[in-house]
Structure 1
């Protein structure tokens, strides 16, 4: 009876770990996609936004390695390997759950939006004196098709990255033309960059929350199966 139970749990755990290894790859992909989506605007982002996807990638690699340990422990029917596997799963579960909760709290956190706005306002003032700030602003305004923090009027000397030519007969978006452009002109980006960056940060947090917490709860099944198989192995060895 114990042998049949042992064989059944062993194969169930083996199949589970194959799925678990795939979920580790999924964590790596999800973390990489989120990071690539916000990293190019990292000049304005706090580490609170950039850290969770990095942690998710690291956890994904660890998940893949731990899943391999679980497969090996199941095949060998080793009590100590299975318990080590269950302990690793528990630690990973706690880390993922913490990252998911942190991302969820940052998503709706007023202080995060305030910090983002303050960072953008501070950087905008240094546009003419700092090469890094100039590159960051030109990049974000061209990529997101926006201008200033809340709008083009934020600039005293509006840069040419705030403008583009929408029509063949539109004026050349030179620094002078862009500086003299009025809100509503075809070649001027009339919306601020803050709402766009805030939305990107919120989407990143939402993605991390869903993936992190979702995979974390699946790991509970792995912990239960590993402990069950370890118990069956111990009973078999005691006889």
Structure 2
């Protein structure tokens, strides 16, 4: 199960990195937030960004702004998209986000599981109550009860 989760996350992040920037901004903003707060770059490392067509086909040396290592630069690290590097060495974090994300998931798995179980219980109670409501409708002519 652990490897299925890791493979699923790897596939999802690889798609985000290859399509960055794309039409759907929500995954990109989430990934920018992860890189910025966990101080990491890419999934396994900063070289993951070299598969991005914007970085590959650019005549400039571009790097993701959310990867910017604030200890190496004096610029603000809240930008999104790509930034221009003055030198071939990107001023980014070297560590990939895989280790940080997995650590966060294992640290908070109890909370995640509790939320999932809470939602499931609420849905189950809603279904039981709706079945009881339907059963309490006492009509001999069931053609009057709407069928969906």
- The number of equivalent residue pairs is 98
Query: Does 1:154 find its partner at 2:48?
Result: yes
Q: More strand per residue: 1 or 2?
A: 2
Structure 1 Cα separation of the partners of residues 13 and 28 of structure 2: 12
Query: Does 1:191 find its partner at 2:84?
Result: no
Higher relative contact order (CA 8 A, sep 6+): 1
C-alpha contact (below 8 Å) 1:127/1:133 kept by paired residues: no
Structure ID, larger Rg: 1
Q: Following superposition, which runs of at least 4 residues in structure 1 exceed 6 angstroms of deviation?
A: none
Match of 1:181, SS? coil
Match of 2:43, SS? coil
Query: How far is 1:208 from its partner?
Result: 5.0
Residues 197 and 154 of structure 1: is their aligned pair in 2 closer, same or farther, counting only changes over 3 Å?
A: same
Instruction: Pick one of 15, 18, 35 that aligns with 1:125.
Output: 18
Residues 146 and 199 of structure 1: is their aligned pair in 2 closer, same or farther, counting only changes over 3 Å?
A: same
Alignment of structure 1 residues 22-171 onto 2, 5 Å: 109-130=2-23, 131-156=25-50, 157=55, 158-166=63-71, 170=73
Residues 114 and 134 of structure 1: is their aligned pair in 2 closer, same or farther, counting only changes over 3 Å?
A: same
Structure 1 Cα separation of the partners of residues 87 and 67 of structure 2: 9
Structure 2 runs not aligned, ≥5 long: 56-62, 115-148
Q: More helix per residue: 1 or 2?
A: 1
C-alpha contact (below 8 Å) 1:150/1:194 kept by paired residues: yes
Instruction: Find the counterpart in structure 2 of residue 203 from structure 1.
Output: 107
Query: How far is 1:151 from its partner?
Result: 0.6
Normalised to the residue count of structure 2, the TM-score between the two structures is 0.54
Instruction: Find the counterpart in structure 2 of residue 176 from structure 1.
Output: 84
Match of 2:84, SS? helix
